[in-house]
Structure 1
């Protein structure tokens, strides 16, 4: 039986010290952790720092005790010594008060703040938290890491050195899925870092990696260390291995260095530097492959992004990309990047912006590194000023002025400067269930050309201008009624809308096409006053757009359960302005009919359909139909059908594709992912992905087989290839990384990554 009197006697020998939890005065009041919302601490849990130059009291307890007063004390039978956050337990505990040293023997437990060490004996300097243990086992509470060793040296309350030991973050007493075995470990809780010297990594009992030096985190906080490596095998790169290393330089700076080896091409290095501050942020990414074994050239890509906030609405930005050749984005895309691309232009832009109240100003230089036979124009430079004022005596008014100098790398091309000025004024009127907005605009465009290409119209002047007015009226009604469907109360709306626009014809034959194209036709663009995007063309229109929408809204939740819309444009006269001055004018009286619908049928089930139908030709131009079912986390299935009737210039090759994707649990730990894009015209699989993810307690494995297609560019034909991807993540050893999750997220709408590791435990979780 323990003798409580023994504990009291030992305390009397020691220097008194204030208790760590006091219950008097303001300190006795419960405190809020995170005002104004948070849990309230019980008074007993409040911790108080000791006054300066005051040592914590030492408490001892045991079945029996003997010793000399103020010199030493021996505790026998369940001996226990406590000082602050350090606890020493053993069958026999001897405490030398003069040297402040404790020796413990037999079933020794040493608890040092967050960590627990167990062994046959321990020798500790109590005040310095310094000591040694032989053949210990240990557990680090913040990470759940554990292991065993021949011996361990405790340097202080944060650092320790393990000799000939093991380390694992797996929560099992025997046979962990992975573990490190090393000649020595340096464990530093202060810097949250462990370092293994001359270590070997074992997975499922098999050595898979050896290194003279290996760093790993001791908490879930951001820390320097290796990210999970990724393996792949493809027909273009052969065996492909990337091993990223993350440098946590500062709380607002980090660097990821990614060595990569491709058996068919050679060694490559990618660096990604990120920075963040209250006034600026950005990143610099550089990839370099010297002497590609296939192309016999040095290959690289550079991407720089910077955003600067000067305050007072003034800001600046840089977005710069450069590559060695057009195929870099396809040949050297990362193991986890989406490979369905065909990029042949790269933006190089820098600018200054100003936003203050109604004013918005952008001054920029925009250039392009282009590998296309029809590259875009550079803006060198451009200044754009916008002013918008709302509800000024009931009026909305504003203007946009833009001055741009256009240059291009293609020889024998038209170049020069363009100035546009577009003022407007509108008077919105609205009431319960209705609105009407008349609007007047003016378009002024002036050109000063420095060179004229051979494809320009005959008689092309260098300086000219044109003016075009526009009148539009937007109006609509909103009707509501209460209905009951399938036992649920809904509000049904009926929303007819009419939009009329009139723009007279102005001859724009001599206007070059610097940045202008025809606008896409769809619900998002049907209520606009111009069928062109850009500043070089203003369409002559005498047109009305009619649409009607009905919605079903759950009265109890406000959730929109269904929406149906029908819209069409009607032309009173044929538009004469075309993008190409030599193009024939098309006889148009009515636009295609657009029909759309979206439904939420049940929990997690949504479906959307849209159809664009050409009444004049009695044919379907575009159509999409799809549904998504997402009943829970990591449970999603999507199916979509897309159809587009291509233009005759494209040899009538219409888009006719079915896209299916999904993520679904096969068991508690095993998940399947997949995606397929099948072209019904070419009768082939354009892109496909099939993978599995296994999420164990202390490791995760992702595996995928992917077929991808590189879209043809001006210099390369389209091609397809297959690759195999594999990533192993050892939790607690490598930092958490999205890895293949980025590829799965890009391919599968609604994809959810595997669960994150649990938060670290409190030091009170395993309190002794």
Structure 2
């Protein structure tokens, strides 16, 4: 809200007589070329607004050299050099008694700034006559080389009638206070009862405390708002979230400007020999994207130079300026200005300068300047500098002898600083981060971004931990025509607690050699198991117990794909024993083929894989698997019936066996037969809130696999799938190829859903299913070759758990998800969850849920045991709530709380505040977590919660944005995305 504007209208409402008296007591006079004085508000106060007064005096001698045309005029000018045809509309006599253009010359009236009051020594007129002249008739003047102006009469446009007041409503102004961020909203109905608006003094006072006085006054902020409105597209559009897309401003080419016509409108004009044109009073020049306004201006059509004085504003595609005076060379875009205000729309960037020099369309220089990327009306941060240079070609700005002011207080001085003026990458320091952890103490990081080449950059980050010492990290990124990737490294020469060096390296690459051939590399290594727990700062989180590295090469065409891969695992959890480390795969070769025959229900497939498994302390082996398949799918909109037959043959060649008497070569060949069938029935239903479609989908799935003892086969990369509704229809309950279940079973399931015909939302979806077994299941994950595996009993139950899932979308923001698994044999719940979600992206996120899983929820796996115990079952009973919600004045609160009910401990929690506006972004996050609880199935008793704190301040347009907070929130806050994700 502009306080000066509020005070002005309050004065009008409370003291109308005082305002009228002050207005009528002032003299506003000027003398024209004939020596006649024209005055406003002369005489005693009257109920009607003051009218112009004309006083006859002696005429002064006139200059006789210039051809002069007086009146409001429009002058279209060609932009190329040399005298060109000029069209100038010349009106009838002005208010001071000037005649038509042919009746005699009149000097251009001085601007408002050069008007002088009536001198005290001037004798007072004996009589004053008030006259009201009709609107002057306008003329257009065509000026060509070596010819005098030719007049053409222009019919004036009819004036628009003022709005008519409604019945019972008085004439006058009606004003509303507007919103918190907008000014008064005023509308005139009928005639103005109080005369023309009077200028009001603007106060520089501010309601908020500042150590320094505001850099830009209220009047200058209003000028910035005016310059902002000159752009076709608001430079600060959507600036609240600068990680989103910004409006791209497109400039006009030099050729377009050269071919454009220059139009000039002014109250008075004069032409000298058809080459030099002088304009006075409301000068308005337009050429292509260039727009200039001034009180006075002089245009040289030969040199194509424009000199303007008094309230000068200039705008083009990506730049807007305001100044007292301006010299502009139109054909080269050179300019000089004094006491200038400027807005560079590419940044956006705004500021003021004692002098501005524009060398060309791309480069500009400023002296004794202050600038900021904050939107007009916001002065939260400002840089003061002795000189500033902006280069649009490179997207870089530089300043010398600069010091930063933040929230009205001086912060830092630097003799030199560079910053980006648009979204292009630019070398320089990014936003620093600092925080504190219990393991490493206070830490601070100051990342430096180095734009090495258009396709190569790196971020070099020196870090300091008060409890451990210095660390240097680097992340290099590259991009080529076929590949993209990054190389990262961290090195701490001496950990003051462990008295040893520590390091981490990583390499990521994706390459597309052709449309069918590509590769992927993801290699990672750390110096020790506790590296992430100790040095991954306040926001670091390592969810996995193993650090995975892999590389693969893929080739794919229609119906055929071939791939090769290697895999390696490194333990990063000190509680994991070496025998539990997964196998390395060096290498793995896969061939897959699928083909559908047109015109007939026939599908054939082939799945082939060769793998070489290595472990330092367990049995090693090579595995070759071949599985051909054939199916005859019958599918339609009403349902489907798909019988399928396949044979899986697996050959093992083992080495490094720890148990004597076991065969080194093992073969397993088993047939697999399945029939999958389902129907879809749709029915329309009417409820009180509207019409719905009810879709019912019953489904039957039969599976048969003969029984074969597989306990002599090692378990290399196989585990049991987690049971859920989709797993009811799998051909194998185990992942990988080391185990193939024995099965003679049928799955009975169904899904019912309701869809709102009007909104398309699905408020209710219910799924229910169960497997009925016709024989016991004897195939388990027990292996004679691996004594480290816990034995799993044979499954003798006749049915599986009853699995149900219920979900729905209540409205476009609110949804829910529930599910449960009931163990009918033990008469208890094996699993359960309930989650309520609210999404109003990107600002409003709220989740609350509960999850339960018994230690024996999956009968194909050994019961989960608490680490360090021999009999304590690790049942999960976990409550979880997370949120991100706006508070006030752009402040946002976010957090998460995860609580283990069976261990009576908080496993993860954090709370944070975030403020982001068009000027800066601040993030404060406090975190309390159990470092080392890599899974939620157990919380080791010897671990205690740790505290950490994180701070990040980013000055938009000055420093780059780090990704630590965004990465942390995407991992720990369900539903969180960067703002750019929604654009």
Tell whether the structures are fold-level matches, with TM greater than 0.5: yes
Partner of 2:642: 437
Structure 1 residue aligned with 2:488, among 281, 285, 291? 285
CA deviation string 1:718-746 (max 9, x = no partner): 55322222222323323455553443333
Shift of 1:607: 1.3
Paired with 1:377 and 1:205, the residues of 2 have a C-alpha distance of: 60
Q: Does 1:3 align with 2:206?
A: no
Q: Does 1:483 align with 2:692?
A: no
Partner of 1:368: 569
Q: Does 1:561 align with 2:753?
A: no
Paired with 1:443 and 1:148, the residues of 2 have a C-alpha distance of: 77
Shift of 1:564: 1.3
User: Is the CA contact 1:186–1:194 (under 8 Å) kept in the aligned structure 2?
Assistant: yes
Partner of 1:313: 516
Partner of 2:368: 164
CA deviation string 1:336-390 (max 9, x = no partner): 54x2x35443233222211111111111222333455122112112211111122
Q: TM-score, normalised by structure 2?
A: 0.67
Paired with 2:956 and 2:436, the residues of 1 have a C-alpha distance of: 24
Paired with 2:443 and 2:295, the residues of 1 have a C-alpha distance of: 56
Q: Does 1:667 align with 2:894?
A: no
Partner of 2:358: 154
Structure 2 residue aligned with 1:733, among 948, 952, 958? 958
Paired with 2:708 and 2:259, the residues of 1 have a C-alpha distance of: 91
Q: Does 1:346 align with 2:550?
A: no
Q: Which has the larger radius of gyration?
A: 2
Shift of 1:205: 1.2
Range with greater deviation from structure 2 (243-252 or 466-475): 243-252
Structure 1 residue aligned with 2:346, among 142, 145, 152? 142
User: Is the CA contact 1:3–1:62 (under 8 Å) kept in the aligned structure 2?
Assistant: no
Unaligned runs of 5+ in 1: 20-44, 759-768
Superposition pairs for residues 587-626 of structure 1, below 5 Å? Answer: 587-626=796-835
Shift of 1:554: 2.3
Relative distance call for 1:236 and 1:210 in structure 2 (3 A) is farther
User: Is the CA contact 1:467–1:506 (under 8 Å) kept in the aligned structure 2?
Assistant: no
Range with greater deviation from structure 2 (356-365 or 204-213): 204-213
Paired with 2:265 and 2:946, the residues of 1 have a C-alpha distance of: 72
CA deviation string 1:249-293 (max 9, x = no partner): 566544333333333233333333333455322222323333233
Shift of 1:198: 2.8
User: Is the CA contact 1:237–1:264 (under 8 Å) kept in the aligned structure 2?
Assistant: yes
Structure 1 residue aligned with 2:975, among 743, 750, 757? 750
Unaligned runs of 5+ in 2: 1-31, 33-68, 87-249, 785-790, 856-862, 867-871
Partner of 2:625: 420
User: Is the CA contact 1:314–1:353 (under 8 Å) kept in the aligned structure 2?
Assistant: yes
Partner of 1:383: 589
Partner of 2:16: none
CA deviation string 1:147-193 (max 9, x = no partner): 223333322221122223211122336x7111011232121122222
Partner of 1:634: 843
Q: TM-score, normalised by structure 1?
A: 0.85
Relative distance call for 1:141 and 1:587 in structure 2 (3 A) is closer
Shift of 1:501: 1.4
Partner of 1:706: 927
Paired with 1:421 and 1:91, the residues of 2 have a C-alpha distance of: 88
**Secondary structure of the corresponding residue to residue 264 of structure 1:** coil
Shift of 1:657: 0.9
Superposition pairs for residues 11-26 of structure 1, below 5 Å? Answer: 15=82
Paired with 1:535 and 1:617, the residues of 2 have a C-alpha distance of: 31
Paired with 2:564 and 2:478, the residues of 1 have a C-alpha distance of: 24
Partner of 2:745: 543
User: Is the CA contact 1:234–1:722 (under 8 Å) kept in the aligned structure 2?
Assistant: yes
Partner of 2:401: 198
Shift of 1:505: 1.7
Aligned residue pairs, count: 723
Relative distance call for 1:172 and 1:756 in structure 2 (3 A) is farther
Partner of 1:399: 606
Paired with 1:614 and 1:743, the residues of 2 have a C-alpha distance of: 37
**Secondary structure of the corresponding residue to residue 383 of structure 2:** strand
Superposition pairs for residues 32-51 of structure 1, below 5 Å? Answer: 50=255
User: Is the CA contact 2:590–2:610 (under 8 Å) kept in the aligned structure 1?
Assistant: yes
Shift of 1:67: 8.3
User: Is the CA contact 1:223–1:735 (under 8 Å) kept in the aligned structure 2?
Assistant: no
Structure 1 residue aligned with 2:711, among 509, 512, 517? 509
Q: Does 1:578 align with 2:799?
A: no
Superposition pairs for residues 63-74 of structure 1, below 5 Å? Answer: 69=273
Paired with 2:750 and 2:814, the residues of 1 have a C-alpha distance of: 25
Paired with 2:809 and 2:284, the residues of 1 have a C-alpha distance of: 64
Paired with 1:205 and 1:427, the residues of 2 have a C-alpha distance of: 76
Shift of 1:118: 3.4
Range with greater deviation from structure 2 (261-270 or 589-598): 261-270
**Secondary structure of the corresponding residue to residue 532 of structure 2:** helix
CA deviation string 1:440-461 (max 9, x = no partner): 1211111122x2332x3x4112
Higher share of residues assigned strand: 1
Range with greater deviation from structure 2 (500-509 or 555-564): 555-564
Shift of 1:500: 1.7
Shift of 1:105: 4.7
CA deviation string 1:556-610 (max 9, x = no partner): 4543321112212222221222211363434332222212111223442211111
User: Is the CA contact 2:864–2:875 (under 8 Å) kept in the aligned structure 1?
Assistant: no
Paired with 2:316 and 2:670, the residues of 1 have a C-alpha distance of: 81
Relative distance call for 1:443 and 1:96 in structure 2 (3 A) is closer
Shift of 1:48: 8.0
CA deviation string 1:622-680 (max 9, x = no partner): 11111112356522321110111122644113111110112222235222212110111
Q: Does 1:275 align with 2:496?
A: no
Paired with 2:926 and 2:887, the residues of 1 have a C-alpha distance of: 18
Relative distance call for 1:130 and 1:506 in structure 2 (3 A) is same
Partner of 2:209: none
**Secondary structure of the corresponding residue to residue 970 of structure 2:** helix
CA deviation string 1:105-127 (max 9, x = no partner): 55444556532333444455554
Relative distance call for 1:13 and 1:658 in structure 2 (3 A) is closer
Shift of 1:689: 1.7
Superposition pairs for residues 511-530 of structure 1, below 5 Å? Answer: 511-530=713-732
Partner of 1:766: none
Partner of 1:303: 506
Range with greater deviation from structure 2 (610-619 or 480-489): 480-489
Partner of 1:677: 898
Partner of 1:452: 656
Shift of 1:133: 3.4
Paired with 1:516 and 1:705, the residues of 2 have a C-alpha distance of: 40
User: Is the CA contact 2:883–2:895 (under 8 Å) kept in the aligned structure 1?
Assistant: yes
Range with greater deviation from structure 2 (576-585 or 675-684): 576-585
Partner of 1:763: none
Range with greater deviation from structure 2 (281-290 or 618-627): 281-290
Structure 2 residue aligned with 1:333, among 536, 555, 558? 536
